[in-house]
Amino acid sequence: MEFETKRLASEYLDPGLGFERRELLFELRRDPLTGHTSRVLPFRRRRISGSSITAEVIEESRKSCPFCPEAISGSTPKFTPEVNSEGRLRRGDCVLFPNSFPYASHNWVTVLSERHFIPIDGFSRELLLDGFILSQEAVLGWTGSKKVQNWVYSSINWNYLPSAGGGIIHPHLQVVVEDFPTVSHRAVLDGLRRYREEKGSFFWKDYISEERDRGKRYLGRFGDIHFIVAFSPRGVLGEIIILFAYREALEDLSLKDWGDFSEGLLRVFNYMKNKGVESFNLSVFSGNSDGVKSWVYGRFCPRVMFPPWGTSDLNYFEKLHGEVICIVSPEELCEELRSYFS
């Protein structure tokens, strides 16, 4: 398996060194599956902001929050009677209902708790498990009732806090079921097809074996759920890839699988808390097409803002050029994070 790295350099006369010549080194990395490229600039690593969620912001947002217990019944949509007679699905403290602002034909919200704000180190295994299981039940209900072969592209997604694009502070997931893959998922399926044609084997299985043998980016596993730091990350602070080995669809995941996944996430949350990183994006992808077999996989990216102006970690390179500038090497991230998986 090829992990392509191109090492580059740039020179200038540095005013901080009396205009002496200075050379900076960086890497251009190419993802072995999709061809996605990242630029790893470890010299850009700098202080990130502390929590941007103050007690005042939390209290003010609570006043108009549609997901809090006193408002959720009257402020959130219900399913139509032919879809669900009770209007909403529930498990523990979690509630699932249609998205008020859908971006897909079947787009649902899973509110994770009655608590309006949960810090990143305040989530429990049970809370996460209930939220993921409830989201899976909604997917099962839809795909099972429709019995339409093409409705196989589902995902469970999480924007945690406004700095990651979360429009509501109250913790919640978003679930999507479609009959076509997103651009990102399509690139993965195309990569899996190419790999099978060129190598005659299954990429995900080879990928786990390769990363475990190399030992530079493999974090660990809980049951059949593997956590690996991405070679070509999609986030400024890196990316973690989660592989649900031998599970070809969200519908295949067991209660134990979700528990193992949740356990791994809690380890990542603890690491982030200790690093002062509070926000993230998470997506879990499911779906095969045109005879291309995949496993369920997830992508996890920490999100930050940079002081003193609250500068976004997204810029023109990612939004307009389709590449990512990462300020921490994946191998360094793995070294820091691996102890949390011991």
User: Do residues 8 and 325 make contact, with C-beta atoms less than 8 angstroms apart?
Assistant: no
Which runs of consecutive H residues, i.e. helices, occur in 80-149?
125-146
- Beta bridge mates, 163: none
Any idea what the Cα angle at residue 102 is, between residues 101 and 105, rounded to 5°? 155
Q: What is the mean pLDDT of residues 213-231?
A: 98
Is 80 exceeded by the pLDDT of residue 83? yes
**How much is the pLDDT for 288?**
87
Domains recognised in the chain with CATH numbers: 4-43 (no CATH), 49-341 (3.30.428.10)
114-152 residues labelled b (16+ CB within 10 A) or e (exposed): eebbbebeebeeebbbbbbbbbbbbbebbbeeeeeeebb
Q: What is the mean pLDDT of residues 199-223?
A: 97
With bands split at pLDDT 50, 70 and 90, how would you rate the model's confidence at 107?
Answer: very high
- Chain-centre distance of CA 192, in angstroms? 20
Whole-angstrom Cα distance, residue 275 to residue 303? 12
Calculate Rg over the CA atoms of the chain: 21
Is 80 exceeded by the pLDDT of residue 1? yes
**How much is the pLDDT for 149?**
59
The tens digit of pLDDT for each residue in 38-72 reads 999 987 666 665 556 788 999 999 999 999 999 99
The tens digit of pLDDT for each residue in 177-186 reads 998 999 999 9
Query: How far, CA to CA in Å, does 193 sit from each of 59, 95, 132?
Result: 50, 38, 29
DSSP 237: T
Tokens 């406004």 sit at which residue?
162
The residues near 209 (Cβ < 8 Å, ≥ 6 apart) are none
φ, ψ (nearest 5 deg) of residue 295: -105, 160
The tens digit of pLDDT for each residue in 124-176 reads 999 999 999 999 999 988 766 554 557 789 999 999 999 899 999 999 999 99
Q: What is the mean pLDDT of residues 65-81?
A: 96
**How much is the pLDDT for 48?**
67
Whole-angstrom Cα distance, residue 35 to residue 6? 13
Q: What is the pTM of this model?
A: 0.94
Is 90 exceeded by the pLDDT of residue 197? yes
